[in-house]
Amino acid sequence: MKYDIKVDLKNREEEYSFGEVAKQANGAAWIKSGDTVILATVVIDETEIVKDDFLPLTVQYIEKAYAAGRIPGGFFKRETKPSDFETLTSRIVDRSLRPLFPKGFGHPTQITIMTFSVDKESDLQVLALNAASAALFVSDIDINTSVSAVRAAKIDGELVLNPTLSQLGRSTLDLYLSGTKDDLLMIEMRSMGKEKVDTTLIADPMMDPTLSAPIITTHVSNAVAEDELITIFQKSEQLLFETNAKYEEAFKAFKKETMKIEYKAHVINEEMVKYVQDNHFEDIKSAMNQMAKSERSTALRALRKKIMLNQEHWNEAELKDGIEKVKREQVRSQILNERVRADGRALNEIRPISISTNVLPRAHSSCLFTRGQTQALVVLTMGGPKDAQMFENLTDDGTQNENFMVHYNFPGFCVGEASPIMGTKRRELGHGNLAKRALEPIVNLDGQTVRIVSEILESNGSSSMATVCGGYMALRAADIETSDTVAGIAMGMVSDGEKYAILSDIMGLEDHDGDMDFKVTGSKDGITAMQMDIKLGGISLNVLKEALYQAKEGRAHIIDIMQEAEKEIKFNEGVLPSTDFFHIDPSFIGEIIGQAGKTIREIIEKFGVAIDIDKKDGKVKVTGKSKSGVKSAREHIEGIVNTPKVAKIEYKVGDKHKGIVKKIVDFGAFIELPDGTDGLLHISKISEQRVDKVSDVVSEGDEIDVEILEFKGNKISLGRA
């Protein structure tokens, strides 16, 4: 392969080839970084124009098993449906490139990114976007702006930009930014769940002689503070801008001649706009107050039909656009000029919240979380290690197990749509992934598997953040320990270029007519996950900082309500599995297991539990269907451990001892010797006379005199003394 250019970047280099492969595509870029090779292509359908007011862009990121020298596992030996990683990467690329397309672009466009070779250190999500942007830049579409990505990690307290995957695995932060040489367009961020301990001295014995030692409070936080995050944004953003400037300079020589494209003519009929403003402005305001999407749509549709009765010569599609423009301008004007939102809330006001836990009696735990007209039923199920989700990424050494899952479902009825429930959509997968990133840093499952499912029952703004709040409450309703309380809030912004307003807890209307969709999750101390898409072509870090602190204020309000609801939790005692972890002296493990596992089997059967013991460090895990059974099993085990051990006796052939008949079997009796060691008194040795049935001679619990006859490995053979 002949490479046209090499781009030196921070911590890596990329080589690009244009025009060697995929020559019939509108644009193609072959990129090599390390041993990773990716091909990105762009193809548009010149013969069709989609008339609807949306960009018909499809992005597909595809991984091939041969890229890592593998044959696909399972029954079918070829790639089938995309993995979660492929789908999430496709979404990231789509959200980053969509803002580049000119207004009125209506040709169906397909961007395909294929991974042909992969090494263990390459960041495939960064390379996928860079390759797709390069293919778009050199294509014959009228796009002359480069978009790229920068990932930031924090390792041992130091910021690392463009880390390798092994470095990212040691990081406490995973931050993915995309943008142009001038503007930041998208942010994906998560805390990696490493614990940061802040220790505060509350009292000093030198100051208070009644204290024998200082009182220390230890606060565990897995969140990233807002100020720290802004500093990281600044450094990452600067590298992002510099990188795109390099790309544009390197790629411009390979840009194809721009093709002539017919754009969708979208002209607003100003006569209709003025008529609606003059005659039906109050009707528009009334429709805006119908907060649910279905109710608002019904009100606007009724208004349109009413106007058409008196204006039969008008085009109804044009009237719909005119009404939409009046509605949008009113929403934005009221926010910017009156600082009041369509539903009457202040800019930083959160809608009313109600929380009910364990509403499903047979589920392990559940939470019905309602905020305004958004409602999520979040259900949690606990399992063991075998219930984990197996997956394998190209850059993994082998199969991985995911033991914390968040699945998000968005049925049509939640927004009043008559649509069938089909397979999981990209949006559902993305929202579930965001909620998982938000909650994962605060849970330590220690071998358990937890699946959280969020069923959205009603939606009018940020059902993903309702999933985070409901997910946290479901964790607590399952009596699963968390290191902090985490909530989520959706932020928005409206700007006219001079004035701007930041909105807390946006509803669907403000998301549709606003300029930013900004989801932030975290505790009162900081942020665990974040996702941001900017519609207006960039955002300053000063505005972003203001939005982060307003989000922090909103989170604190929601967390206070959640913590009050925690006090009312009643566990599903008869259904909820219980798990207890404790340590014992490893030298007692033999006593707990017993001969041939007899003792531990008796504990399992008696208390209805499962027991796992780490023989190396003495860690014991007891799991059962009831707390009382788990508690009793632990007490029984600790009783064995706390029973003083009898010193081991060094037995010799010919020694005589008193023993207790412990168990009778067909071929003899097991005798417990003075130090607890068991020996076998064979039926042939039990009496000088022939014995047909052991129980005719001895009974369990009898004390008898025995003699050591011989040793067979670690077994002792006995005779009557």
Q: Torsions phi, psi of 586, nearest 5?
A: -55, -20
Q: Could you read off the pLDDT of 468-501 as tens digits, one per residue?
A: 999 999 999 998 989 999 999 999 999 887 889 9
Q: How many angstroms separate the CA atoms of 456 and 459, rounded?
A: 7
Query: Are the C-beta atoms of residues 162 and 11 closer than 8 Å to each other?
Result: yes
Show the tokens assigned to 371.
Answer: 């905020």
Percent of the chain scoring above 90 in pLDDT = 46
Q: Which domains does the chain have, with CATH numbers?
A: 5-254 (3.30.230.70), 270-338 (1.10.10), 353-527+539-566 (3.30.230.70), 578-642 (3.30.1370.10), 656-720 (2.40.50.140)
Residue 493 near residue 348, CB atoms below 8 Å: no
Q: Is 260 exposed, middle or buried (0-12, 13-18, 19+ CB in 10 A)?
A: exposed
Q: CA 668 to CA 698: how far, in whole Å? A: 10
- DSSP state letter for 142: S
Residue 536 has what pLDDT? 60
DSSP code at position 347: T
Residue 331 vs residues 384, 405, 495, 643: alpha-carbon distances, Å: 50, 38, 12, 74
pTM over the 0.95 mark: no
CA dihedral 82, 99, 13, 252 (to 10 degrees): 130
- Listing DSSP states for 153-183 in one string gives EEETTEEEES--HHHHHT-SEEEEEEE-SS-
Q: Both tokens of residue 168?
A: 């990212």
Ramachandran quadrant class, 156 (left: phi over 0; alpha: psi -120 to 50; beta: rest): left
Distance CA 192, CA 442 (A): 10
Question: How far apart, in whole angstroms, are the C-alpha atoms of residue 267 and residue 315?
Answer: 13
Contacts of 280-287 spanning 24+ positions with Cβ under 8 A: 280/307, 281/326, 281/330, 284/323, 284/326, 284/327, 284/330, 285/330, 287/327
| Residue 36 DSSP SS3 | strand
The pLDDT value recorded for residue 423 is 83
Whether the Cβ atoms of residue 125 and residue 211 lie closer than 8 Å to each other: no
Which residue in 104, 87, 85, 105 sits closest to 42, CA to CA?
A: 105
Q: Please give the pLDDT value at position 363.
A: 94
Angle, in degrees to the nearest 10, between helices 124-138 and 226-251:
40
The CA-based angle 258-261-267, given to 5 degrees, is 135
Indicate the SS3 state at residue 359: coil
CA–CA dist 330, 283 (Å, integer): 12
Spatial distance between the Cα atoms of 363 and 384, rounded to a whole number of angstroms = 16
Instruction: State whether residue 468 is helix, strand or coil.
Output: helix
Nearest Cα to Cα of residue 460 among 376, 576, 571, 563? 376
Token representation of residue 514: 């606003």
CA atoms within 13 A on the CB side of 488: 32
Contact 443, 382 (CB under 8 A): no
Distance CA 631, CA 595 (A): 24
The number of CA neighbours under 13 Å toward the Cβ of 85 is 15
How is 91-111 classified by DSSP, letter by letter?
A: HHHHHHHGGGSPTT--S-EEE
Q: Are 184 and 534 in contact (CB under 8 A)?
A: yes
Average confidence (pLDDT) per 10 residues, the chain, 721 residues:
88 91 95 96 88 85 93 83 93 93 89 96 96 96 94 93 93 94 91 52 36 38 85 93 94 92 78 87 76 70 86 84 87 89 90 96 96 96 86 81 94 89 90 95 86 95 94 95 94 88 91 87 94 76 91 96 96 83 84 82 88 85 83 88 70 88 88 84 86 87 90 83 81
- Residue 510 phi/psi, 5-degree rounding, is -75, -30
Buried b (16+ CB within 10 A) or exposed e, 551-578: bbebbebbbebbeebeeebebbeeebbb
In this structure, what token pair is assigned to residue 648? 């081991």
Closest CA to 467 of 425, 438, 508: 438
- Please give the DSSP secondary-structure letter assigned to residue 122: -
Q: What is the CA radius of gyration of the chain?
A: 34
Residues 110 and 130: their CA atoms lie apart, in Å, by: 16
Could you give the 3-state DSSP secondary structure of residue 202?
A: strand
Question: Could you tell me the two tokens for 539?
Answer: 């955002």
- Fill in the amino acid letter for 125: Q
pLDDT tens for each residue of 386-422 = 888 888 888 877 788 899 999 999 999 998 888 898 8
pLDDT value at position 646? 57
Q: CA 236, CA 230: separation in Å to the nearest integer?
A: 10
Question: Residue 207 has what pLDDT?
Answer: 35
DSSP reduced 3-state for 25: coil
Q: 3-class secondary structure for 237-260? A: HHHHHHHHHHHHHHHHHHCCCCCC
pLDDT of residue 129: 97
Cβ-based neighbour number of residue 634 at 10 Å: 20
Please, what is the average pLDDT of the chain?
Answer: 87
Q: What is the pLDDT of residue 231?
A: 93
pLDDT confidence of residue 211? 38
* Helix H or strand E encompassing 577: none
Neighbours of 651 (CB within 10 A): 16
For 544-557, write each residue's pLDDT tens digit: 899 999 999 999 99
The pLDDT value recorded for residue 376 is 97
Report angle CA 57, 58, 60 to the nearest 5 degrees.
Answer: 150
Task: Name the residue among 574, 582, 584 with its Cα closest to residue 628.
Answer: 574
Note the pLDDT of residue 191.
92
pLDDT at position 409: 96
